[in-house]
Amino acid sequence: MSEQSFELSDLLTEIDTVLDAGQSGDTDALYDHRASIISMYAQAMAEFHFSEDKLEWLNALLRAVEDNQTNQCLHILQQEQDTEKLFLASQFAAVMAGCYHHDECMTVVQAVGLQALLLAIQSEQAMDSRFDH
């Protein structure tokens, strides 16, 4: 078995452990695995959803979240023009802010993402109405 397959197997085993603990209400086990699950989540988000040229931007956003700098989070997110990347990054930042119990930061980054999503929907509807006439 390759090293990568072994690592994937280990990760899936840990995830199964967490899911079993969640189903049985084993809060001690959930707490024991919290840091590694959050770390895996962050790594997966960065690797699967963001290109390498966005990693510096994403890391800056995560540092701002960790430091609970709502204004800095807002500034960093507003640099992104791609609606999907902006929305995904805002939700990622919101999850991470929740891990740090930074409710204000979580609210700001969710608002940025929601605004981007709603403006994109509004823009699509406007385009559709132009083609309907």
Domain boundary among 27, 49, 71: 49
User: What tens digit of pLDDT does each residue of 66-113 get?
Assistant: 999 999 999 999 999 999 999 999 999 999 999 999 999 999 999 999
> Are 88 and 106 found together in one domain?
yes
Comparing C-alpha atoms, which of 24, 20, 89, 77 is closest to residue 51?
A: 89
Specify the DSSP class assigned to residue 63: H
Average predicted confidence (pLDDT) for the chain: 91
Domain stop point among 18, 33, 49: 49
Same domain, 58 and 81: yes
Query: Pseudo-torsion of CA 120, 70, 90, 12, nearest 10°?
Result: -170
pLDDT at 131: 74
**94's tokens:** 């919101």
Determine contact, residues 58/49, Cβ cutoff 8 Å. Answer: no
Looking at residue 4, its pLDDT comes to 55
Write down the pLDDT at residue 2: 47
Query: 25-36: per-residue pLDDT in tens?
Result: 999 999 999 999
Identify the pLDDT of residue 133: 61
CA–CA dist 92, 106 (Å, integer): 10
For the residues 116-130, what does the mean pLDDT come to? 88
Give me the domain span that covers residue 1. 1-49
What is the per-residue pLDDT for 46?
Answer: 87
Q: Which of 17, 33, 49 is the last residue of a domain?
A: 49
How many domains is the chain partitioned into structurally?
A: 2
pLDDT at res. 48:
87
